[in-house]
Structure 1
């Protein structure tokens, strides 16, 4: 199998993965409308009240387009917030698409959150709220609680992103500084019915973490959020308003979030319509159809990107020594990057770093390759979605005068891969189901 065939197959794998979790198709498959009754699996609604569509996330535009194509003029109002450059080519008539900043929240997202609150507060018992939720919503729909300002929330976001905490911990803190997250969106929608369609961007798809749990019971507490901040040594760096608000929550001066015991949860239905496992299945079927043996890792990829990349590179090297047939290793998840040592010009991301660390472990190994891909098309601070590394990458880089260890140390992995022509640059995919790692030996 030559390098041209491998390159072509690699692009097929990436395209197949993205297409398998297309948000528009996922919504069309999940929702059915016969003119009077809306169904989503076993759930159904046949009310005569208003239908209001609200949402946030990187997949918001295609999700909104699908809902509008199903319900049309039956939609009374709608607002969905997407990341900048994530509107796509969708021309919607009933649902307003707004852009806002991600991963740090901004004034546009704040105004959108306020408009969502207004609509939620006006709902009646016979109304239906359809929530379209996907990765990125935590930043795109900020509603700072108490005396917390938007600037304070921005400071908190930067602290959390730089410390290397996983998204589970980050969102536990975020939702305890917000008046919509942690089930409060669902509470505000009462007494209306609420249907949430979710595209999961979190390992294992815990609903209380995806988009900081807008429409599901909160399984965490103010004390847990505080403990995470202590774990990363961030307490002394917190804005005063956030410090005080969390302390008020711990002392029950601020009410706890809805925990599932409230009687109105019977009005709420949540359905995950796309997740990482669907993309893995599509890759597996394509590879097997072309004669590859597939090893699908059931353990999610988590942890520090550089450490994970080194371990994956070593595993592929072992496979190259033992495999008798073309073999594809497949896993999904999301790693983290601790930004210690970063320079002002550095550009990179968790997948580009993972690929670079894997390349060092694969150095000199023939017929080996690893694809590290962010399914949303964006990986950290660079315009890439990740990178493709092989056993020749390090030798090629050194011929160009590049030092891979230095690139890792200053988190400038994008510059490294750009010089080699190996970053994955596919632009916004308008979906988001975490990251994929595809290892290949032949």
Structure 2
């Protein structure tokens, strides 16, 4: 992928008629390019304060956000701080750019000891701040796992177990982050509250439907309207246990988060510097420039990945066969954050591999039934689908036929949540490496 501080000038777009897969990849690249932090950060930077400038942050885009801030912040204005990002997601240093912000790496989506240590250090950096100081918080998706500091009575092992259970449960991101906030010493507004009386300005890249800053990375710098009772209800709904002492603390409201109206947030500001909708619009611009009609369904689509894939397939089949609800040739774009409910495994059957984008593509391919004239790409804009090494996968009119010839059955792979194995066997995975940003799911259908 392009370096996050390099020129945004795109390469010439491939012809969609003769190179449909390359064309779909160009649309994905346009979306990722739009979401690089340097492009949206400049307009929202405050003036340097009378006192210190401390930078704190977490998320998959943390390394690129730190470099963008270093490039834009006045060279003669002191600045220091610490940001945590996912392993392998630190971009190479831009030539001649001085490093003023320390960037460390930790695990995602299941937290580890490195993330715990980073969260402890970040919280410690809030000590001794004054009203003359400025805290710039760089927040992006993935921060929930990377910024892990368990509440009293909860161990790192407990957090890891609960996180895995939430990921496998099919809970949507708002539900998962409600639980995470109430089991944390740093999320759900607690980081910003700890910075008082300093002013806090949060620069965030949205990876959640609706762009709610209180959901992005579990909202470490914004007040939280959810409650301990909400967290308990979610844990009960998905059958996830917490230690008895923690359960009792939730029942008593002892783990409540800072709420809207809390005086500690007075004067704080939150700015969205990249969003899913803007990224989809950038992809749409490329498609329109190629002469195609573009239909943007939504940037807030949620639901079970395979079922969302089936709905997209129904739209594509109707358009390809009857010219309704869209006339071909056209492009259909959507974003959001779908979920995958991991199915129980039979004894001796290995756990499948893959993430939301791959499972969407399995459901899509199954429901398209080899429909002529339809190509698709679904990918995660951070370059990592779930915990695998691919960003997503391609689907074409010949996907099912090639899979059958290779002995791959879509029903079998869906039953095992094994999208990676299916598309790897067809050489249809999209592998980009880390993109150094994250505006969540990207899906595009090309209908000819």
> For residue 246 of structure 1, what is the aligned residue in structure 2?
250
> For residue 337 of structure 1, what is the aligned residue in structure 2?
340
Q: Do the aligned partners of residues 63 and 247 (structure 1) sit closer, same or farther apart at CA in structure 2, a change above 3 Å counting?
A: same
Structure 2 residue corresponding to 1:11, chosen from 25, 32, 37? 25
Deviation at 1:299, TM superposition (A): 6.6
> For residue 187 of structure 1, what is the aligned residue in structure 2?
193
- Residue 393, structure 1, aligned to residue 399, structure 2: yes
- Residue 136, structure 1, aligned to residue 142, structure 2: yes
Gaps of 5+ in 1: 32-38, 40-44
Q: Secondary structure at the match of 2:303?
A: strand
Deviates more, 1:166-175 or 1:363-372: 363-372
In 1, Cα distance between equivalents of 2:425 and 2:390: 13
> For residue 4 of structure 2, what is the aligned residue in structure 1?
none
Deviation at 1:2, TM superposition (A): 7.3
Deviation at 1:245, TM superposition (A): 3.1
Deviations 1:151-187 (A, max 9, x none): 1111111111111101110000000001111111111
Compute the TM-score of the two structures, normalised by the length of structure 2: 0.91
Matches within 5 A, 1:15-414: 15-31=29-45, 39=46, 45=47, 47-71=49-73, 72=75, 74-90=77-93, 93-234=99-240, 237-249=241-253, 254=254, 256-298=256-298, 300-323=300-323, 324-342=327-345, 343-414=349-420
Q: Do the aligned partners of residues 20 and 409 (structure 1) sit closer, same or farther apart at CA in structure 2, a change above 3 Å counting?
A: same
Deviations 1:366-391 (A, max 9, x none): 11012111101111132111111122
Deviation at 1:124, TM superposition (A): 1.0
In 2, Cα distance between equivalents of 1:76 and 1:30: 17
Q: Do the aligned partners of residues 255 and 341 (structure 1) sit closer, same or farther apart at CA in structure 2, a change above 3 Å counting?
A: closer
Q: Secondary structure at the match of 1:178?
A: coil
Deviation at 1:248, TM superposition (A): 3.3
In 2, Cα distance between equivalents of 1:241 and 1:418: 45
Deviation at 1:125, TM superposition (A): 1.1
Deviation at 1:199, TM superposition (A): 0.2
> For residue 35 of structure 1, what is the aligned residue in structure 2?
none
Q: Do the aligned partners of residues 310 and 255 (structure 1) sit closer, same or farther apart at CA in structure 2, a change above 3 Å counting?
A: closer
Structure of greater relative contact order (alpha carbons < 8 Å, 6+ residues apart): 2
Deviations 1:36-83 (A, max 9, x none): xxx3xxxxx453100000100000111101111222452342100010
Compute the TM-score of the two structures, normalised by the length of structure 1: 0.92
In 2, Cα distance between equivalents of 1:75 and 1:244: 45
Deviation at 1:121, TM superposition (A): 1.9
In 1, Cα distance between equivalents of 2:52 and 2:121: 17
> For residue 36 of structure 1, what is the aligned residue in structure 2?
none
2:183, 2:255 within 8 Å by CA — same for their partners in 1? no
Q: Secondary structure at the match of 1:388?
A: strand
Deviation at 1:335, TM superposition (A): 0.8
1:61, 1:86 within 8 Å by CA — same for their partners in 2? yes
Q: Secondary structure at the match of 1:112?
A: helix
Gaps of 5+ in 2: 1-14
2:106, 2:146 within 8 Å by CA — same for their partners in 1? yes
Deviations 1:207-245 (A, max 9, x none): 1111111111101000000001111122xx323343233
> For residue 42 of structure 1, what is the aligned residue in structure 2?
none
Deviates more, 1:334-343 or 1:312-321: 334-343
Q: How many residue pairs were aligned?
A: 424
In 2, Cα distance between equivalents of 1:346 and 1:353: 11
